[in-house]
Amino acid sequence: MDEKSREVLLSLQKGPLTLDQLSEMLIISKKDAKDRIERLTEAKLVRRTPGIAGGPDLYSLEFSMEIEGACPDQSLVEELYQEIGNSFFSFLEKNSDKISALCDSMGASLGRAVEQVFLSSVSRVVKDLQIEINEEDRRLSAHLGTIQPT
């Protein structure tokens, strides 16, 4: 990833931004901001939420780009990590034959196969939550559309 793309990702780590905000924050042209965002969106690292009610499109990090330590309550993160870890290793033991077969079919290491199973399942959970997240982004976009530029 080039330095310009990295700047965009770092800018989005605290929440969604519009192209204008991104352009202003990075001190770049709106066209340059749009080109960077399009590449990252195509790579599925950034999500675009279309603006409504005259509001601008919003861009935010995809789930896979969560920044470690970004959650303000690390005790919640630790508790969930422990719960997932306990049940995850039990799941792996129970399904060791299926996972071995998956390694063979993918031509992948055990780690890669387990990673894919885990990420696919977590992605399904997050997609269920995305409905709420997208609604929040739409409300923010509509709100930004009602604010007059200064």
pLDDT tens, position by position, 2-44: 787 888 988 887 778 999 999 999 999 999 999 999 999 988 8
Burial class (CB in 10 A: 0-12, 13-18, 19+), 47: buried
Sequence length of the chain is: 150
**pLDDT reported for residue 93:** 92
CATH fold of 1-150 reads Arc Repressor Mutant, subunit A (1.10.10)
- Is 47 in a helix, a strand, or coil? strand
3-state secondary structure of 17: strand
pLDDT at residue 149, as a whole number: 54
Low-confidence ranges of the chain (pLDDT < 70): 1, 63-71, 147-150
- Alpha helices (runs of H) in 95-109, residue ranges in sequence order: 96-106
pTM: 0.51
What was the pLDDT predicted at 65?
47
